[in-house]
Chains A and B, each alone.
Chain A
C-alpha cells in the first residue's frame, strides 16, 4: 500500500437552480493520478440506457495531490422527470471507469411547484 492518499473520493451533489429548469452535478477528488477527465451520463431509469451529456470531457487535473472540485450543468432536463446520473473517469491511457455510483435526482418540478 502506498501511504499517500491517491484514491478518488467522490461526493456527487446536485444543486437546485431557482430560476431555470437545470441541475448542477458537482463532484470532488481528493487527489488524482494520470486523470485525463470525466464524462457525465444521464438516464431515465437506474438501469439505463444512459446518454453522455458533455460533448468534450470535463478536463481532469492530470496528477494532483490537491483536492479538486468539478461540475456539470445539465440544462436539458424535462422538469417533470426524475433522472439518473453517473460520472465516468478517463485515464491518460484511455481507460474509462465508472467514477460515481448512479444516483437519482427527483423531478425538478417537485422542488419548484408551479404557482
Chain B
C-alpha cells in the first residue's frame, strides 16, 4: 500500500474543481480515479482557493485512505469581485485539490447533544440575495477595477410601471418574531444640477403592497440602504417586491431628472429551524442552534466545524459567533462540481525560458494555430504556443482573469532569457459577458433591460466567444476592449512594449482559414498591388484634405494612391460602395472619417441616404482572394471585438477565409484620431519591419492615452510589411535606359511596370542573376519598380519628365 501511495504522490497532478454557486459540493474518490488519483492518504488531501487553504470534510470510512466510495465535501463559493459581489470576469470559481499534508485543512467535529422535545427553537436567520446582471454600465467617473460593472435594471422617474420582483420564501419561519431586513444597493446615474430643495434621487420599495422604504440621496454614485419590517408582511409562498422612482417636479413644473440603476437586494429573515430535504444555510443569533432535521444531515460551519445529525431528531449545537455561517445538507443533496479537470503542471514562468514570440491560445484552437507557429519557426523566430489555462494556472491559481495574462507577459518580458520577447498573439475571441453559457443579446441590451443600446449584427455562430478575455479600459461614455494593457508591461507608462495582436476567432476552422491566408500572404511573390494605398473618407472635406496630405507624402516615396471620396451632394452611397469593393486589392487600406458601430459612414447619419458607405454585409462581396491589404481604420468602433454576440468590421475583415484583410488596426470605442496619429501609422506601415513593430512604433509616438488604449491590432503581429519605397535606380539622361543598383544583395523578384498614361504597356521581370540594365519602351510616362528585399517589398514610382 505504501508503494502505491508514494507512486501516486509522485505522479499525481493537482485537480481543478470548478464551482458556479455558493453550495456544499461533494467529490468522490471514484470521480478522480480516471485522472490517476487512487488510494491517496486522507490527511494529505488539501484544497485551496486563490492560494488560501480551505476546509474540507473527508469521509474515508476511518481507514485513513481515500478510495473507492469515499468522498469529501466542502463549501464552495463564487469568486468575489474587487468591488462587486461576484467577480465580473468569470461566473465560476476554481479550487485546487492537491496532495500535501502540510496544506491540508480538515474540518473538526462539533459537539452535538440531543435536544428535548420542549427545547426552544433557535433564532436562525436565512438570507436571500437577489441580483441579476442584465445591464452593463461603465461609469467613466469611477474608472477602476473595483467598481461594479453589471446592474440589474434602470429605474427612471418616467417609467410607466414599477419594477417588480416575485419571490417565494419557502423557509420563512412561521413562528419567528424577528423582523425582516431588506438591504438594497443602487447607483444614482443622473445628476440633476438644477433641482430646487430636492434630492437628486429617490427610490421607494414596497413588499406585497406595504411601503418598506423611501430613500433619498444626492450625487452620482452607489447608494446602499437597509430597513426592517414586520415578518408578517412576507409569506412563504409568493411575495412581490416593487421598486420605483417617484415622478417629481420642480417649481417650474419641470420633471426632476431622476435615473438610477438597481444593483441588488438582500433579504435577511427568520428561518425555519425545521430542516427539510435539500441544502440550507443561515447565521445563528443565539449561543446555540436547535435543529430539527427530517433526514440524515451533514452540518458544516464556516469555522471548520462539522457534525452528522440523525434523521427525525432534534439536536443542539453550541454557537460561538454570529458571524459564523452554517451550511446543512439534508439528505443526499450535495451539489456536484461544474467541472473536475486534471491540471498538468507547466513551467512557463521559469526564467530559463526564451522566446521571440508567444502565441497564447484557447485550448480548442491550439492545433489550428500550430502551422503559423511552425512557419515563423522556419523563418528563425523562437515561438511558444501556450494554453491560456496554463497561464491561469501559473499566474492566478487556475482562475480565468485578464490580470493573469498581463502578469504572464510582464514576467516573460522581464524575466526570460534573450532573445527578448517581441511578439504576442492572443488566439481566441473576447467577450465582456463572462457568462458564456447565457450570453445573449436579450440579457443586457434590449429595451426591456437596458437603457443604453448598441445596434449590432449578430455572429452566425451561437457559441461562447470569451475564450481569451481582454481588458476593459474606461474612455469617456463607456467601456472599451483594450489589449494594449497586456502589452504595456515595462515602466509606469501606457505605451506598448511588445507587439501584440489577436485572432478574435472561436473555431479551429476559422483559425485555420486565417492561418492559411496569413501564410499565403507571407509567401506571395512581389506584386504591384502591394504598393497601392487605398484612401477612403467620408464626405467631409477635412478628412479628404488630411488623406490628400498623407497620400501626397506617400507618393513622394513611390507609393501609388487610389482615392474614394464621397460627396455630400450624392444621394446614395451605392456607387462609392461599389468602388470600394472594386479597389480593395491594395497593400494598405486607410479609412478616415465617421464610423458608427460596425460601419463606415458617409457622414453624420441624417436619414437622407438610405445606407452607409461600407457595412458588414458589404464585406461578403469582397473578392480579393490573394490580394489582402492591411486595413487602418481611423474612426470609431471598427473593432469592438469584445461584444459577446455582435460582429464587427474589423473582426470580419480578418475572419473572411478568402478575402478581407491580413490585419486590421481599428478602435474599439469612440475616438478622435488626430492627423499626427494617421501620419505615424501610415509612415510606420510603409517602412521595413513587421505589422506588430509598426503598430508599436506608431503608438510610442502618441501622447493620447485614449488612442493608445482603444486601438487594437487584429492579426499576426509578426507578419512582414510588404509596402515600402525603393530608390536604387539610375536613368540615363534621355530616359531610354535604366540601370538598377544592387546595393542590397538580398534583392530578388524585381518587376518593372511601364505605364503610358494609365495604361500598363509593358512588364519586365528580372531574376536574381539577370543583368540590371533595361531598355525602356519607346513610349512611357511613368515606371513603377517593385522588388523584394528580405521579407519586404520595395517600390518606386518614376515619372518621365515632360519634354
Contact = CB atoms under 8 A, between A and B. Distances in A.
A76 B774 CA distance: 87
A67 B636 CA distance: 17
Given A5-B601, A37-B158, A90 B634 contact: no
A90 B158 CA distance: 12
A33 interface: yes
Contacts of A4: 594-597, 635-637, 670
Interface string B708-721: 00000000000000
Contacts of A2: 636, 670-672
Interface stretch (A17-25, A42-50, A51-59, A78-86): A51-59
B453 A36 contact: no
B190 A36 contact: yes
Contacts of A11: 607
B632 to A, nearest CB: 13
A90 B255 contact: yes
Given A93-B192, A93-B257, A3 B154 contact: no
A61 B445 CA distance: 12
A32 B596 CA distance: 12
A63 B135 CA distance: 13
A5 B452 contact: no
Interface string B382-395: 00000000000000
Contact of A93 (B191, B596, B671): B191
A28 B453 CA distance: 16
Contacts of B478: 63
B474 to A, nearest CB: 15
Contact of A28 (B192, B452, B596, B607): B607
B605 A67 contact: yes
B604 interface: yes
A28 B604 CA distance: 14
Contacts of A61: 451, 453
A6 interface: yes
Contacts of B593: 3
A46 to B, nearest CB: 22
A42 to B, nearest CB: 15
A79 B191 CA distance: 41
Tell me if A's interface is mostly helix, strand, loop or mixed. Answer: loop
Interface string B259-272: 10000000000000
A95 B190 CA distance: 11
B194 A65 contact: no
B453 A64 contact: yes
A92 B191 contact: yes
Contact of A95 (B193, B601, B607, B634): B193
B158 A64 contact: no
Task: Determine the interface band of chain B, counting residues with CB < 8 A from chain A.
Answer: 35 or more
Contacts, number: 111
B192 A57 contact: no
B251 interface: no
A88 B382 CA distance: 63
Given A62-B451, A65-B453, A66-B453, A94 B594 contact: no
A63 B479 CA distance: 13
A63 B452 contact: yes
A71 B604 CA distance: 22
A92 B596 contact: no
Given A3-B593, A36-B257, A56 B189 contact: no
Contacts of B158: 36-37, 56-57, 59
Nearest to B637: A4
Given A62-B452, A65-B596, A95-B193, A9 B259 contact: no
Contact of B190 (A9, A28, A67, A94): A94
Nearest to A62: B451
Contact of A5 (B454, B594, B673): B594
A58 B157 CA distance: 11
Most A CB contacts (10 A, CB to CB) among B259, B593, B604, B671 go to B604
A67 B194 CA distance: 29
Interface in B524-556: none
Contact of A94 (B191, B596, B634, B672): B191
Interface in B321-364: none
A26 B225 CA distance: 41
Given A93-B193, A95-B193, 6 more contacts: A7-B604, A30-B606, A56-B158, A65-B454, A93-B257, A94-B191
Ordered nearest first, which 5 A-B pairs have the shortest CB separation? A62-B451, A4-B636, A94-B192, A30-B605, A63-B452
Interface of B: 154, 156-158, 189-195, 247, 253-257, 259, 451-455, 477-478, 593-597, 601, 603-607, 634-637, 670-673
Interface of A: 1-7, 9, 11, 28, 30-31, 33, 36-37, 39, 52, 56-57, 59, 61-67, 90-96
